[in-house]
Amino acid sequence: MALLQDIVASVLNDVLSAQHQANLIAESLAEEYASSPILKAFPVPAVSVGEMDITLNFAIVGDEQRCESLNPDDAKSLEVIVDAERLASLGKERLHSITLKITSEKIAAASKQRGNPLIC
């Protein structure tokens, strides 16, 4: 079990880290391409995370009644189950999902906030 806010933060952190790692590789390739008489004629390969939707399926730990009267501010501190096997064993009425919509603009803003300027 984990807090919903921790799971969402971890997913977003992983997306930011993946973009940062791709940028570091692109930077290294750019230096290599610049120093090669043959490679400098080619564009440097680079990857940028575009738009993505990530759907997280979960169940709330504890009292099912709690979900019905839930304040949006309280939702982030909910203890949730995300393990696929445990979710499969629960009734469908206990399952919930949240979709994270991620865009390259949001990644760029979050990356700058973390101090990892985007290269591409």
Q: What are the residue ranges spanned by the domains of the chain? A: 2-114
Place of tokens 């590789």: 25
Query: Are 62 and 77 in contact, with CB atoms under 8 Å apart?
Result: no
* The two three-digit tokens of residue 30, written as one number: 């750019």
State yes or no: pLDDT of 64 exceeds 80: no
CA distances from 35 to 8, 26, 28, 80 (A): 41, 14, 11, 51
pLDDT at 37: 96
Name which residue leads in pLDDT, 76 or 61: 61
State yes or no: pLDDT of 75 exceeds 70: no
What's this model's pTM, rounded to 2 decimal places?
Answer: 0.69
